[in-house]
A and B are shown apart, each in its own frame.
Chain A
Amino acid sequence: MVTLDEIADTSLLQKPFDKTADLLERSESNYKPLDSFALPKDRQYQQQFADIYFLRLAKIKPAVEEVASAAWEGTVLGGETATKVNRVLDVRQGQLCWVAGTVYMDMPLKPSVLEDVSKDRWISAPVTADRYYCENGGESIMLEDDSGRIRLVGNVLRDYFLVTGCIIAAMGTENVNGEFEVIDLKFADLPPQPERWSLSKPFSSGAIKKSKVKDEDVDMTDSQPSKKIAIVSGLEFSGTDTSYAMELNLLLEFLLGEALDPSAQSELSHISRLIIAGNSIAKPSDHESGFTTTTSTTADSKKPQKKYGYDASSYNPLPSQLLDTFLSTLLPTIPITLLPGTFDPANASYPQQPIHLAMFPKARTYAPVPGSAEPGWLDPVTNPWEGEVEGWRVLGTGGQNLDDICKYVDSEDRLGMMEAMCRWRCSAPTAPDTLWSYPFQEDEPFVMKECPHLYFVGCQPTFGTKLIEGPQGQTVRLILVPSFASTKEIVLVDTETLDVSKVKINA
């Protein structure tokens, strides 16, 4: 409870006086992006998707088996000792055993490519189903590897989140119906975690001194309060919906440090980097999209007049212009990492490649110099993205991976699903089954080889955060970054403690 009297003597509610304001210097951002999810420029899409599952199984299976044998080796149940079976097909009826493989979920509402083919649908529309499960059951869970698959049954399955593509080990017996009655499940659990500063080096105090501007008074040398990074998602700059435009304005002023009073401004100057986690541009409104579909159908019947450049009647440049203005206003004071999201102008399939800089005529002057090793001041990155910020290994996505998992599971426990992803060691298990993905051949980048310190997922309905721990003492800070357009919230992460706070903006 604050009353008017209490704020009466605030410094900014006074007559202006002639005092030169201090110049605050923004904290330096220590940043090293990794291109784990970058695709080759000349990629092709002729390959089959099976290799992804093969590679994923090959990478994670040893870890799962290790966990499983540690837990189940020598387990005796009903006078029978559990034995390891190497392949799914080698499971013998009535024999107590355990086997590792990939989960496949068959669900009533799940889109199926076989169905599309049989119904002669050749153009794949974006998946519109908001869930794959069905209240009255009808789903079946299978375990498969390169030899075959077996149906899993048992009550224990309900205690875990399971989605297509995650690698598990299951112990149990095959019953007379040829189903595998599961007694217990194991996951690979968190991968080994690198030390802090494993890829980049902290700035020594000498380096800070050197790069300092020769201003009159910069009293930042001794007291080094911890820095922060700001994460925001779902800015959704729109050409038609202006209901949250004022909040976006306030966000801009907040991050610039122009709003608020000197003490708060000095606090804000410690925000060393802004990460935008997807959906910077709003979903095209129904009107717009309807319009474009009609034009495309007429285009089929009549050859349209050839045009260079975009067609102004079907394209609204305003959202990207607004985003460009937003970025170019912020960039002089803060470096930005930009992840694409579902609605952003990038490819639709995972991993999404960086938004092309041609979208940002003003902001692109801050972009990386092609071919240089130094990351850009404005760094358009892939989604998912991995990097090291202030020495911490950070993994972030624009949210599609989690949204897709949510369609499998009748639960709103998104933090739990994030945790499950870490324990499965897979950041996008449902790719390529229901989450569109590039058909990888050589490598499966969604496997978490190293455990991140900070894992954030953008464009979520609500905020959430949690700290999880692994068997070898790994700790991961999980953050659900809410969509700004609907919640008006941004997330600040302390770069020393990885503590999270948030800022809500009400206009």
Chain B
Amino acid sequence: MDTYNRFLAENVLTEDKVVTYRFLSRALQVHVNSAKQMLYEFHRSQNAKRPGAVHATYLVYGTKRASDGPSASPNGTDGDIDMSSSAPEVESLTEVVPTSTLSLVPEERLKEALAEYDEVTSVHVYSIGPHPAKDMALLVDAANQVLSLGTGADQKRLAPIINPRVRRRERQEAGLKAAAAATAAVKMQAKPGSSEPAQVPASAKVKEESKPAQPVQETADKASLGPAKKFAPPIKRGASSGIMQAFSKAASKPAKVKKEAEAPQLAEANGHDSNMQPLSDDGEDDEELPQPKARSASGFMSKKEREEALKRMMEEDDDDEDETPEKEDTPEEEPMEVEPAAPEPVKEEETEVVTAAANGRRRGKRRVMRKKQIMDDQGYLVTIQEPGWESFSEDEAPPQSKPRTATSSTPAQATKPKKGGPKGQGSIMSFFSKK
């Protein structure tokens, strides 16, 4: 019975904290309304012993006197009072609607605050603290203490208003059930949305039977989740050794194939995802026992796998970045090189002037076409292309030496680097290899 007295004495008197009813309710696992009464009783008893020992704030709810409410004119807000102009002046007046006011007042001002009300429907202690509350904004910290305590389960028990119809989606990390049941689900959902109606006619008896079973299954689920998670990556490794493979010499092609093979898998996983059923409270579809082992088969990716996929993607990204300057190069160089007869081979060379080359990285300038927009004398915008020199350095990818020789040899092959875009996957390897 007196646990709350001890708790409040500890927190308020000894530790100098402000305690709100929500915090008390969470901390002692009591209903919020009881917590409000506890605060009141503690406040009363302490102040009876020693006046001014604790200070309360009250939450008052009711209707205020009408005087200050509706008369506030709508155009007094932003000082924009130049209504004298020609605009239509027919103000459509707003209806006066009943307004309830919820106020948080310290006990010192409670009397004045109540005087402003016409009718008070509800009043209770909001918080008590060792000092008078000067600024209500400071109560925010006290109010937010609740966050450190509250979990979903607690709230469900203590909240005065419950909503049995709440639907939530199972988190993907925890949502193995759906993945495991995916095959079943797919069968069930041959007609989309048919699963919902299917559940409705399920008799209450089934509900009751499955209800006690659910927690057990869930714990089993969790238990089996641990090992499954650990096992999954090695299996995966066996199939394809992840990132390292990307660096190995022959990897570029198999990796590519793998990726492609993975894409449908991924899509499949997504497909399952979308088939995922909302978690039903009554656990009706728990007949489909979660089978973590079936996950790899069903293509559902574990966290590890997803991480790897992400890493691979980032890697690919980097490759792309390396490729883009190269791609930019080719179209510019091409026209010049294809220009027949090559009367000035010198010019060809000059499309790129390397001023320094160290460690296989080069700096220099290369010729590019720049777009320039100017306004001509008649005021039209004209876009012209003019050749210019642009310096490049090791920040950008080194232009490949091999394609270069190829292009200069035969124009037929000159188109090759362009096509070789995807083949450029292996470019990073050629970079590392000896020149």
List the interface of chain A (C-beta within 8 A of B): 1-4, 6-7, 10, 12-17, 20-21, 23-26, 28, 118, 120, 135, 158-161, 211-213, 242-243, 245-246, 249-250, 253-254, 256-265, 268-269, 303, 308, 325, 329, 331-335, 364-374, 376-377, 409-416, 419, 461-467, 480, 499-507
Give the contacting residue for A260; candidates B77, B86, B124, B192; CB below 8 A.
Answer: B124
Is B94 interfacial (CB-CB < 8 Å)? yes
Q: Smallest Cβ distance from A158 to chain B, in angstroms? A: 6
Is B262 interfacial (CB-CB < 8 Å)? no
The reply to whether A507 and B86 contact each other, CB–CB distance below 8 Å, is no
The distance in angstroms between the C-alpha atoms of A14 and B41, with both chains bound, is 7
Give the contacting residue for B100; candidates A12, A16, A370, A501; CB below 8 A.
Answer: A501
The distance in angstroms between the C-alpha atoms of A410 and B75, with both chains bound, is 12
Q: Which of B383-424 contact A (CB under 8 A)?
A: 395
The reply to whether A26 and B101 contact each other, CB–CB distance below 8 Å, is no
Q: Which of B79-94 contact A (CB under 8 A)?
A: 80, 82-83, 85-94
Is B121 interfacial (CB-CB < 8 Å)? yes
Contact with A along B25-53 (1 / 0, CB 8 A): 10000011110111011000000000000
Is B156 interfacial (CB-CB < 8 Å)? yes
The reply to whether A412 and B169 contact each other, CB–CB distance below 8 Å, is no
Q: Among B134-142, B219-227, B427-435, which stretch is in contact with chain A? A: B134-142
The reply to whether A366 and B167 contact each other, CB–CB distance below 8 Å, is yes
The reply to whether A261 and B160 contact each other, CB–CB distance below 8 Å, is no
Give the contacting residue for B276; candidates A369, A409, A465; CB below 8 A.
Answer: A369
Residues on A with C-beta less than 8 A from B98 are: 501-502
Q: Which of B129-160 contact A (CB under 8 A)?
A: 136-137, 139-140, 143-144, 147, 150, 152, 155-156, 159-160
The reply to whether B92 and A415 contact each other, CB–CB distance below 8 Å, is yes
Residues on A with C-beta less than 8 A from B36 are: 12
Contact with A along B149-182 (1 / 0, CB 8 A): 0101001100111111111111100000000000
Residues on B with C-beta less than 8 A from A333 are: 159, 161-163, 166
Give the contacting residue for A466; candidates B95, B115, B124; CB below 8 A.
Answer: B95
Residues on B with C-beta less than 8 A from A242 are: 137, 140
Is B252 interfacial (CB-CB < 8 Å)? no
The reply to whether B273 and A370 contact each other, CB–CB distance below 8 Å, is yes
Give the contacting residue for B114; candidates A2, A332, A371; CB below 8 A.
Answer: A2
The reply to whether B32 and A258 contact each other, CB–CB distance below 8 Å, is yes
The reply to whether A506 and B104 contact each other, CB–CB distance below 8 Å, is yes
Q: Which residue of B lies closest to A416 (CB)?
A: B92
The reply to whether B168 and A416 contact each other, CB–CB distance below 8 Å, is no
Is B65 interfacial (CB-CB < 8 Å)? yes
The reply to whether A503 and B100 contact each other, CB–CB distance below 8 Å, is yes
| Contact A264 to B122, CB < 8 A, known contacts A28-B165, A365-B170 | yes
Q: Which of B232-290 contact A (CB under 8 A)?
A: 273-278
| Contact A7 to B120, CB < 8 A, known contacts A258-B159, A370-B274 | yes
Q: Smallest Cβ distance from A240 to chain B, in angstroms? A: 14
The reply to whether B122 and A507 contact each other, CB–CB distance below 8 Å, is no
The reply to whether B193 and A372 contact each other, CB–CB distance below 8 Å, is yes
Is B22 interfacial (CB-CB < 8 Å)? yes
Residues on B with C-beta less than 8 A from A364 are: 169
Interface of B is mostly: mixed
Give the contacting residue for B163; candidates A13, A15, A16, A25; CB below 8 A.
Answer: A25
Residues on B with C-beta less than 8 A from A373 are: 192-193
The reply to whether A332 and B163 contact each other, CB–CB distance below 8 Å, is yes
The reply to whether A263 and B94 contact each other, CB–CB distance below 8 Å, is no
The distance in angstroms between the C-alpha atoms of A118 and B381, with both chains bound, is 9
Q: Smallest Cβ distance from B243 to chain A, in angstroms? A: 16
A3, A258, A377: most-surrounded residue (chain B CB, <10 A): A258
7 contacts between A and B (CB under 8 A): A4-B111, A12-B123, A245-B140, A246-B136, A269-B160, A409-B87, A411-B87
The distance in angstroms between the C-alpha atoms of A3 and B119, with both chains bound, is 10
Residues on A with C-beta less than 8 A from B354 are: none
Residues on A with C-beta less than 8 A from B88 are: 158-161, 409, 411, 413, 416
Give the contacting residue for B110; candidates A4, A261, A366, A376; CB below 8 A.
Answer: A4
Residues on B with C-beta less than 8 A from A20 are: 31
The reply to whether A467 and B95 contact each other, CB–CB distance below 8 Å, is yes
Q: Smallest Cβ distance from A296 to chain B, in angstroms? A: 20
Is B59 interfacial (CB-CB < 8 Å)? yes
Closest 9 CB pairs of A and B: A410-B87, A464-B94, A257-B161, A12-B124, A16-B37, A371-B274, A506-B103, A261-B122, A412-B75
Residues on A with C-beta less than 8 A from B32 are: 258
The reply to whether A465 and B94 contact each other, CB–CB distance below 8 Å, is yes
The distance in angstroms between the C-alpha atoms of A26 and B80, with both chains bound, is 43
The distance in angstroms between the C-alpha atoms of A480 and B97, with both chains bound, is 13
Size of chain B's interface in residues, with CB distance under 8 A? 96
Give the contacting residue for B156; candidates A250, A303, A332, A465; CB below 8 A.
Answer: A332
The reply to whether A21 and B137 contact each other, CB–CB distance below 8 Å, is no
Interchain Cβ contacts within 8 Å, total number? 274
Q: Which of B337-351 contact A (CB under 8 A)?
A: none
Residues on A with C-beta less than 8 A from B31 are: 20-21
Q: Which residue of B lies closest to A413 (CB)?
A: B91
The reply to whether B40 and A12 contact each other, CB–CB distance below 8 Å, is yes
Give the contacting residue for A2; candidates B80, B86, B117; CB below 8 A.
Answer: B117
Q: Smallest Cβ distance from A163 to chain B, in angstroms? A: 13
The distance in angstroms between the C-alpha atoms of A283 and B36, with both chains bound, is 36
Residues on A with C-beta less than 8 A from B274 are: 369-372
Is B186 interfacial (CB-CB < 8 Å)? no
Give the contacting residue for B74; candidates A12, A158, A409, A412; CB below 8 A.
Answer: A412
The distance in angstroms between the C-alpha atoms of A275 and B193, with both chains bound, is 26
Residues on B with C-beta less than 8 A from A374 are: 167, 196, 278
Q: Smallest Cβ distance from A95 to chain B, in angstroms? A: 29
The distance in angstroms between the C-alpha atoms of A429 and B110, with both chains bound, is 50
The distance in angstroms between the C-alpha atoms of A365 and B175, with both chains bound, is 11
The reply to whether B124 and A15 contact each other, CB–CB distance below 8 Å, is no
* 19 more A-B residue pairs beyond the given contacts A303-B395, A466-B93, with a C-beta to C-beta distance below 8 A: A7-B120, A10-B124, A26-B161, A242-B140, A246-B143, A257-B161, A325-B147, A329-B150, A365-B168, A373-B192, A377-B168, A409-B88, A411-B83, A413-B90, A415-B92, A415-B94, A416-B92, A502-B100, A503-B102
The distance in angstroms between the C-alpha atoms of A412 and B4, with both chains bound, is 54
Residues on B with C-beta less than 8 A from A1 are: 65, 115, 117-118
Q: Which residue of B lies closest to A377 (CB)?
A: B167
The reply to whether B121 and A462 contact each other, CB–CB distance below 8 Å, is no
Residues on A with C-beta less than 8 A from B183 are: none
The distance in angstroms between the C-alpha atoms of A153 and B89, with both chains bound, is 19
The distance in angstroms between the C-alpha atoms of A135 and B379, with both chains bound, is 33
The reply to whether B87 and A464 contact each other, CB–CB distance below 8 Å, is no
Q: Smallest Cβ distance from B170 to chain A, in angstroms? A: 7
Is B426 interfacial (CB-CB < 8 Å)? no
Residues on B with C-beta less than 8 A from A419 are: 92
The distance in angstroms between the C-alpha atoms of A242 and B155, with both chains bound, is 26
The distance in angstroms between the C-alpha atoms of A104 and B338, with both chains bound, is 55
| Contact A250 to B102, CB < 8 A, known contacts A2-B117, A308-B314 | yes
Residues on A with C-beta less than 8 A from B93 are: 466
The distance in angstroms between the C-alpha atoms of A269 and B160, with both chains bound, is 9
The reply to whether A504 and B74 contact each other, CB–CB distance below 8 Å, is no
Q: Which residue of B lies closest to A410 (CB)?
A: B87
Give the contacting residue for B121; candidates A249, A264, A467, A501; CB below 8 A.
Answer: A264
The reply to whether A254 and B102 contact each other, CB–CB distance below 8 Å, is yes
Give the contacting residue for A366; candidates B40, B125, B166; CB below 8 A.
Answer: B166
The reply to whether B97 and A249 contact each other, CB–CB distance below 8 Å, is no
Q: Which residue of A lies closest to B150 (CB)?
A: A329
Give the contacting residue for A250; candidates B83, B104, B162, B314; CB below 8 A.
Answer: B104
Q: Which residue of A lies closest to B37 (CB)?
A: A16
Q: Smallest Cβ distance from B62 to chain A, in angstroms? A: 7
| Contact A10 to B123, CB < 8 A, known contacts A3-B111, A16-B37, A333-B161 | yes
The reply to whether A249 and B140 contact each other, CB–CB distance below 8 Å, is yes
Is B99 interfacial (CB-CB < 8 Å)? yes
The reply to whether B124 and A13 contact each other, CB–CB distance below 8 Å, is yes
The reply to whether B169 and A7 contact each other, CB–CB distance below 8 Å, is no
Residues on B with C-beta less than 8 A from A504 are: 99-102
Q: Which residue of A lies closest to B96 (CB)?
A: A465
